Amino acid sequence: MQKNLAKRNNRTFKLLFKVWRNISPKLRKETYFALFIMIISAFSESISLAAFLPFLTLISDPSRINQIQFSKFFLNLLNINRPTEGIIFFAFLFSISLIISAILRIFNIWFTSRLAGRIGSSISSNAFKRTLYQDYSVHISRNSSEVLNPIIAQTTQTIVAINLFLQLCTSLLISVSIIFGLLIIETKIAIITFLFFGIIYILIAFNVKDRLQRNSRIFLEESNMQVKILQESIGSIRDIILNSIQLTYFENFQKVDQSMRTRQANNIFIASFPKYVIESLGIITIAWLAILIDKEENTNSVVASIGVLALGSQRLLPSLQSIYSSWGTIKGRTSSIQSILKLLEQPMPNFEYKNSLKPYKFKNSIKLENIEFSYNEEKKILNKINIEIKKGDSLGIKGASGVGKTTLIDIIMGLIEPTGGKISVDGKNLTNLKYLISWRKSISHVPQNIFLLDASFYENIAFGEDKEKIDYVRAEKAAKCVLLDDFINSRKYKYNTKIGERGIQISGGQRQRIAIARAIYKKSEILILDEATSALDYKTENQLMKNINNIGDNITMIIVAHRLSTLEKCNRIIDLNKE
């Protein structure tokens, strides 16, 4: 039984060790310092206990001043002969040790709480960083709630677990220190008491461990579901209102949330309830031990020993409860720790040169040779595609829905790798990471699904730039190019007007034009428009495409569209239905 419990606990602490490996050396050093404070704090507890025995003994029987082995050293060193002086000295030593112990424990709680917060920030930021740098294929293969929930919610749970682990270490050291002191003072009673309380806690832990872990797993699943319901409901709020299905989403959310909170409450109860049972048993045990102590012993000696034992128990029981409670709460958060570890253990490419790379200078042509692509070995979306796109070309790509137009664009941009064939730019294969990053930087892309910031027109056009670094003149020129300047200037705050979350306060056509203005602002040599003008009327689209074509002769354009009018200015058109 104990071996199985130890094995499961070992698995839990292995998870925390993995988290430990993902924090910075500076934070590790701070953890060592926290451990040092814990040891000093534990030592001070032993001193206070050791000072309490002679203090109680001298109060109950001053004539025993020279019979206490522990006190002889101090009494001789300080040349104390009178009981009154001894009582004052040990009262002073006991008081000082308690004050120091309290100060150390308060400082330890303050320091470890801040340390756990910094560790949490470190792993949260690291998880987000690693997630950002994953391949595009990884992002499209998983639900965003699988990323959002661990980084936002489960990191908080992990911080709690780290903080509790530090508290567990403190309580463990203090408990060992108190037990050691009690063993020296009253060996028999200390052993019986410790075994009694220790066995109770071990039995409780063995019986609740599976429930804690099961609750932890279900809590994580339902937390992911909660985030998913929120995303879906907010993202489709228009359809929800039109169909009057608010109650359906509310009931789904309420069901998941209620179950999740119940699991969390169960784990809190399991981690807390032993305290009240053990405290009562502790008082009863001390009372009966007082009766069972050898009747021939000096009554004053018995009173002193029981007094020390009572104080030791009063200090020990909270520490034992803290150990159990911390263990229980950590156990109840193992699934949360695992979820954040999945993100922390994502492979991280070497990006030491990332910021120093400049956009690739496109010279000759892009060649796609026998390009094939399929998801999970299913039916091929692209099959034996051969295209050469020369510098300065305006290439149109058309085809029915589902023939792979967007997939082909993603391959050209280097976002996904073809499952067959190869793509090269100016004769260089897009396999070298450094070259690939430089190539991506040379492209401006306007997708079908446009993401806009809940920020100003300026910030949306200059997407990704710090507000202080925005070239306002260039942003306004880009807006004029896409026929958006008059509309923006009609707003109250002009270019500083906020457009709302996902551009909710503007029309679909205006959103598309902001996205195109964003691409123009980037001043890339390669411009890719994927159904980027589908929301525009023919007149606006025609004028906009004329403006784009007049940007410069060196611009290479790839345009994906269903409407033939969008492609009429292209010098080449490829129909994927016929490829």
What does the DSSP assignment read for 261-277? Answer: HHHHHHHHHHHHTHHHH
In the chain, which stretches have pLDDT less than 70? 1-13, 49-83, 85-87, 181-182, 184-186, 188-190, 192-193, 235-239, 242-243, 275-276, 279, 282-283, 285-315, 349-356, 377-378, 502-503, 552-553, 578-579
3-class SS of residue 399: coil
Decide: helix, strand or coil at residue 288.
helix
Candidates 336, 434, 421, 431; CA nearest to 380 is: 421
Q: Do you know the residue count of the chain?
A: 579
Q: Which domains does the chain have, with CATH numbers?
A: 2-344 (1.20.1560.10), 351-442+524-579 (3.40.50.300), 452-520 (3.40.50.300)
Look at residue 333 in the predicted model and tell me its pLDDT.
75
Six-digit token string for 120: 């949490």
Angle among Cα 274, 275, 280 to the nearest 5 degrees reads 100
- How confident is the model at residue 82, as a pLDDT? 67
Q: How far apart are CA 293 and CA 285, in angstroms?
A: 12
pLDDT for position 89: 72
Dist CA 334 CA 14 (whole Å): 10
CA 173 to chain centre: 29
b/e sequence 340-359, b meaning 16+ C-beta within 10 Å: bbebbebeeeeeeeeeeeeb
What pLDDT, on the 0 to 100 scale, is given for residue 324? Answer: 76
Dump pLDDT digits (tens) for 468-509: 888 889 888 888 888 888 888 888 888 888 887 766 777 878
pLDDT at 58: 62
| Distance between start and end Cα atoms, the chain | 66
Neighbours of 260 (CB within 10 A): 19
Q: What pLDDT is attached to residue 3?
A: 46
Residue 425 near residue 362, CB atoms below 8 Å: yes
Q: Are strands 394-398 and 420-425 parallel, antiparallel or unpaired?
A: unpaired
Burial track 263-284 (b if 16+ CB lie within 10 A, e otherwise): bbebbeebbeebbeebeeebee
Could you tell me the two tokens for 92? 């002073």
> What is the pLDDT at residue 66?
58
Sheet of strand 428-429: strand arrangement = 382-390, 365-373, 420-425, 428-429
CA 551 to chain CA centroid, nearest Å: 44
pLDDT score recorded for residue 5:
43
Q: What is the spatial distance between Cα 390 and Cα 177, in angstroms, rounded to a whole number?
A: 78
Predicted pLDDT of residue 23: 80
Q: Which of 122, 104, 100, 111 is nearest to 25 (CA)?
A: 122
pLDDT, position 93: 73
Rounding to the nearest 10 degrees, give the CA dihedral for residues 23, 24, 27, 28: 80
